[in-house]
Amino acid sequence: MNRGAPPIPPSTLSEIPLESHYGSPAPGDYPYTRGIHRDMYRGRLWTMRQFSGFATPEQTNGRFRYLLSQGQTGLSVAFDLPTLMGCDPDDPVSLGEVGKCGVSIASLADMETLFDHIPLGQVSVSMTINSSAPVLFAMYLAVAEKQGVPYERLNGTLQNDILKEYIAQKEFLYPPRPSMRLVTDVVEFCARHVPAYNPISISGYHIREAGSTAVQELAFTLRDGIEYVEWALARGLAIDDFAPRLSFFFNAHNDFFEEIAKYRAARRIWARTMKERFGAAAGRSLKLRFHSQTAGCSLTWQQPYNNVVRTALQALAAVLGGAQSLHTNSLDEAYALPAESAVTLALRTQQIIAHESGVAAVADPLGGSHYLEALTDEIERRALEYIRAIDEMGGMIPAIERNYPQSEIADASYRYQKSVEEGRRVIVGVNKFVQSDDHPIELLQVDQQAEISQVERVRRLRADRDNAAVQSALGRLEEAAATDENTLPHILAAVRAYATTGEICGAFARVFGPWQERSVI
């Protein structure tokens, strides 16, 4: 939704006329190292998409409507930990976590409130959810039904990337193989019924936040992508029927040129992989589209205003690297979920890059730089080595089972921390240029009231709904889970009967069992 955004002036500030791109091969040409569009942001700016969610569905709905009124062009839902982990607000393990890291969504009723007065046919919605993704996706579809929006008009993105959960973020529920089956259920359902929606966002962000290097982030993410493609092919889908809707999500970290080179290498590796390894023919299947988020783990508690500058540089790297959508972190995120003033400043940072800096006028303006091209080649070479190593292990699931990516990341994370400790790597305000009189900043407070109200609400829901209908829908879901039938129609039926997030994930757990990782330190 870039309606109303002013066009990018095709000239410099001093009115020197500009081409849309310079040099050859041009952006928009295979293997898309220089970008997936010839004109890039001249044709369409990136989507400014601030990840947001806290407390109750009412409170987050208010924040969404505020962000849209401030010129944000897409929504991105942050769920709380109980929702991410498929637990209801009144589950004992949810104690203290309800509404803390995101919004609490326990049933379709909560989802209806979350998108109240937000037309899903017009606003693209990204949802960051993984192990319980099929359930929350079904709730989103059910809200669209209630708004009278046909599935074909829905566009948005479901993260639905379970592999990086085992590798990095660790929000898994079931063992890898049944989890992959659920991911593939969504990919298949979307390919058949929700064609403009991205059913997966293959994510390096969390891998990087867990302490990986840029090369590891790139390699593990693309290897995850290969795994999803293989599962979808095994399901009987044709490559060009689903590959165009695979999307990616990368971190934008501190090393400016390394990040830009990473995005360029990502596009080149993916295009070649899709063409040579999987025989994709459609141009859209070969084009790696990605969302980027600035690095939360780079933000410091000390001298928090420095975070505005870090974020601006990281965001600039994502733009120069050709991101399709961007989230800029707020200055207070080393402390808490962002306050409204902080998130507004983060959005303004993107708007200044887009409309004032001139960098959006020309596609891949750094292409052809000796340094950047060499760095792109080197990152590609190193990432391909990792991909080959994982291929030799038999794919990403065997690699995860033997803790390979997890150990590589843990080692890199410890090396990084040691380099900070020893002062070999400078972090301004933390290990150099330290000052003791930090100014306190305004913080968002999420009180216990959100938890109390969500607990009451889910209990009232269970008392008021047709419980016979819920039980029968859950029973059919459990039966389907035990076969190889696509589970999504059954999840939808349970959601429409107002079964809760915890009840639906619990039904799967009875069939699939839990997953315990062997922790390595």
Contacts of 70 (CB under 8 A, 6+ apart): 344, 347
Shortest CB 393 distance to other proteins, Å: 22
Burial of 435 (0-12, 13-18, 19+ CB in 10 A): exposed
| Site for other proteins contains 443 (CB under 8 A) | yes
Nearer to other proteins (CB atom), residue 144 or residue 167: 167
Shortest Å distance, C-beta 446 to other proteins? 7
Contact, 320 vs 259, CB < 8 A?
no
Considering only 101, 331, 346, 497, the residue that binds other proteins (CB under 8 A) is 101
Q: Out of 39, 97, 110, 380, which residue is the one contacting other proteins (CB under 8 A)?
A: 97
Q: Which stretch binds other proteins (CB under 8 A): 185-193, 240-248, 334-342, 503-511?
A: 334-342
Q: For residues 419 and 22, what is the distance between their CA atoms, to the nearest angstrom? A: 39
Residue 421 in the binding site for other proteins (CB under 8 A): yes
State which of residues 17, 96, 148, 236 lies at the interface with other proteins (CB under 8 A). 96
Alpha-carbon torsion angle 390, 395, 398, 399, nearest 10? 30
DSSP state of 276: I
Taking contact as CB under 8 A, which single stretch among the options 68-76, 84-92, 396-404, 461-469 is the one that binds other proteins?
84-92
* Residue 18 in the binding site for other proteins (CB under 8 A): no
Among positions 400-419, residues that touch other proteins (CB under 8 A) are 410, 413-414, 417
Part in contact with other proteins (CB under 8 A); list of ranges 27-35, 86-94, 114-122, 184-192: 86-94
Which value, in Å, is the radius of gyration of the alpha carbons in the chain? 22
Residue range at the interface with other proteins (CB under 8 A); choices 88-96, 179-187, 222-230, 372-380: 88-96
Q: Rule CB under 8 A: say whether 164 interacts with other proteins.
A: no
Least spacing, CB of residue 266 vs other proteins, in Å? 23
Judged by CB under 8 A, which stretch of 132-140, 224-232, 330-338, 343-351 contacts other proteins? 330-338
Tell me the C-alpha to C-alpha distance, in Å, between residue 19 and each of 8, 11, 16, 327.
12, 8, 10, 28
Phi, psi of 104 (to 5 degrees): -90, 120
Site string for other proteins, 206-245 (x = CB under 8 A): ---xxx----------------------------------
Q: Which stretch binds other proteins (CB under 8 A): 4-12, 97-105, 148-156, 309-317?
A: 97-105
Three state DSSP letters for 98-160: CCCCCECCCCHHHHHHHCCCCCCCCCCEEEECCCCHHHHHHHHHHHHHHHCCCHHHCCEEECC
Minimum Å gap between C-beta 303 and other proteins is 10
AA identity, residue 504: I
Q: Which two tokens stand for residue 193?
A: 């019924």
Closest CB to other proteins among 90 and 209? 209
Asked if 246 and 221 count as a contact pair (C-beta separation under 8 A), the reply is no
Q: Which of residues 272-311 bind other proteins (CB under 8 A)?
A: 297, 300-302
| 93 scored as a contact of other proteins (CB under 8 A) | yes
Does 161 contact other proteins by CB under 8 A?
no
Is residue 70 a contact residue for other proteins (CB under 8 A)?
no
374 touching other proteins, by CB under 8 A: no
CB of 502 to other proteins, least distance (A): 12
How far from chain centre, in Å, is Cα 451? 25
Identified binder of other proteins from the candidate list 21, 42, 100, 262, rule CB under 8 A: 100
Residue 337, CB-side half-sphere exposure with 13 Å CA sphere: 22
Nearest CA-CA partner of 329 in 209, 183, 193, 506 = 209
- For residue 76, the SS3 value is strand
The counts of H helices and E strands in the chain are 20, 9
- Give the residues lining the site for other proteins (CB under 8 A): 81-82, 84-85, 87, 93-97, 100-101, 165, 169-172, 209-211, 297, 300-302, 334-336, 410, 413-414, 417, 421, 427, 430-431, 443, 446, 516-517, 519-521
